[in-house]
Structure 1
Amino acid sequence: MEFDRVQAVASLSFDKETIPKEFIWPEKEQPATTTFHGPVPEIPTIDLNDPNPENLVRLIADASKEWGIFQVVNHGIPSDLIAKLQDVGKKFFELPQEEKEVYAKPDDSKSIEGEVNEEYAKYMREVTDKLFTALSLGLGLEGHALKEGAGGEEIEYMLKINYYPPCPRPDLTLGVAAHTDLSALTILVP
């Protein structure tokens, strides 16, 4: 299973100055030679508390069209809640594998795991709904169109917490290869 492989690599390379050979990218594809070294691009930052709804829709639509990504501020998620979520995630990943498995969600469970995750998920639904509405309007559609297309009130929200230990040789490898997310909307917490 891929998860086991990643965990094994993480434990092998955590305290060492090397990484396993199979994770070293070909010389012409290594981050040291392919990383952009120019000025940091100014990814659009959008204030979700913009008092002008038409301006918010335009900014989100423009950023999506021109960049495919944007950063949001004033999203309404308390910073202490984000810090708590990151802290419990870090503590979970520091546990031995056997202890992590004790916390694994049973297949028949219908709830979100953990009190911090549940509280965070409530805020994320609000942010997601606001973004779906703005993106729909930006495309000239009814405000509910994209959410309906993604499942409406039956939409599935997935919270995924990843932990990548510091890489001892980031010049040789990447944590995640180029890919496309399978979700309708991906929201990352830096």
Structure 2
Amino acid sequence: MEVMRVQDLAKESIHELPAQFVRPAHERPENSQAIEGVKMPLISMSQPHDVLVDEISKACCEWGLFLITDHGISPSLIQELQEVGQEFFKLPNEEKERYANDPSTGKFEGYGTKMTKNLDAKVEWIDYFFHLTYPTAKVNYDIWPKKPSSYRKVTDEYNSEILRVINKLLELLSEGLGLDGKVLKSSLGGEDIEMEMKINMYPPCPQPELALGVEPHTDMSALTALLPNDVPGLQIFKDGKWFAVNYLPDALLVHVGDQIEVLSNGKYKSVLHRSLVNRERTRMSWAMFSAPPHEKMIGPLPELVDDKNPAKYSTKTFAEFRHRKFNKLPQ
């Protein structure tokens, strides 16, 4: 099946959005302006351990999102990661289409564009590349881009660095719940935790006030480490309002996902967020999702449940959680 990629639509220099991209009035950015200039939690990972526990725990309770600096990932590696992703999206269509995915058949990994079978449903102004990066035994390198030739080397190196950061954050988050530092990672599958990369590509849009790059959602993963380029667009929802997230070079944006909210029995909040698009510039972001294996049972940690704090969520496999979320069924 031939798919019209958003990148190709943008190249046609259209002046009016095709109808399937025009959001309902209540979802349009022009009708739901975000508050600018609000300082999100900004945390240096070089601080003493007990300070980190307090600051990260507070950020996850109040915002569900924070930025980290001094995380130890070199700016040169970040630049290389962004360059190989940009180079992939500059390839000829026939080369990119070799990696096309097909979510309708369960093939989620690869090059994709958000589509819908329902002609009345709205779609997002985004092309993307998605694939598993860890554990190595589950990684299918055949669907990773062969061009540019350095893609695999750079992405593997970045994955190792992100895994180190995620492990440290899970330790800090566990201690913030009053638990041993190993509890959250163990509850998410230990060394079998899966890492997934999604490169989001939002081309220039003729009517950005009517469209969304990604519609409002929470991440179904445990933690997301996001590396955006310098084109603004990420917004989070808090206290009934949208807030624009400021860009900080080389900082990592960390989102709390649904699995951490469930395990913490609601203490840590899975953040509702959306992505806007730009009229003149291409926005890109590199998201690394950490998630439990599909067969892992996830529910509120027993240590956090008692008569005063009953379980707020049911316990189910991550596979069942994914199925319900994809199909918009009650959890």
TM-score under structure 1 length normalisation: 0.87
Match of 1:119 among 145, 157, 168: 157
- Listed one character per residue, the Cα deviations across residues 129-187 of structure 1 (whole Å, up to 9, x for unaligned) are 11101001001111011111111011111122121112222111111111121211111
Residue of structure 2 in register with 1:131 after alignment = 169
How far apart, in 1, do the equivalents of 2:217 and 2:155 lie? 26
Identity %: 43
Greater share of strand:
2
Tell me the amino acid that sits aligned with residue 53 of structure 1: H
- Listed one character per residue, the Cα deviations across residues 51-106 of structure 1 (whole Å, up to 9, x for unaligned) are x1000000000000011100000111111111111111011012233212446779
Residue of structure 2 in register with 1:110 after alignment = 139
How far apart, in 2, do the equivalents of 1:162 and 1:131 lie? 24
Match of 1:92 among 77, 88, 92: 88
Residue ranges of structure 1 left out of the alignment (5+ in a row): none
How far apart, in 2, do the equivalents of 1:169 and 1:125 lie? 38
Residue of structure 1 in register with 2:217 after alignment = 179
Which stretch has the larger CA shift, 179-188 or 54-63? 179-188
Greater share of helix:
1
How far apart, in 2, do the equivalents of 1:103 and 1:21 lie? 27
Q: 1:109 to 1:97 in 2, by over 3 A?
A: farther
Residue of structure 1 in register with 2:188 after alignment = 150
Residue of structure 2 in register with 1:33 after alignment = 31
How far apart, in 1, do the equivalents of 2:175 and 2:140 lie? 32
- Listed one character per residue, the Cα deviations across residues 99-134 of structure 1 (whole Å, up to 9, x for unaligned) are 124467799973664111011111101110111010
What is the SS of the residue equivalent to 1:16?
coil
Judge conservation of contact 2:41–2:66 (CA < 8 Å) in 1: yes
Residue of structure 1 in register with 2:261 after alignment = none
Tell me the amino acid that sits aligned with residue 28 of structure 1: H
Give the 4+ runs in structure 1 shifted more than 6 A. Answer: 104-109
Aligned length: 185
TM-score under structure 2 length normalisation: 0.52
How far apart, in 2, do the equivalents of 1:141 and 1:174 lie? 39
RMSD: 2.4
How far apart, in 1, do the equivalents of 2:226 and 2:182 lie? 23
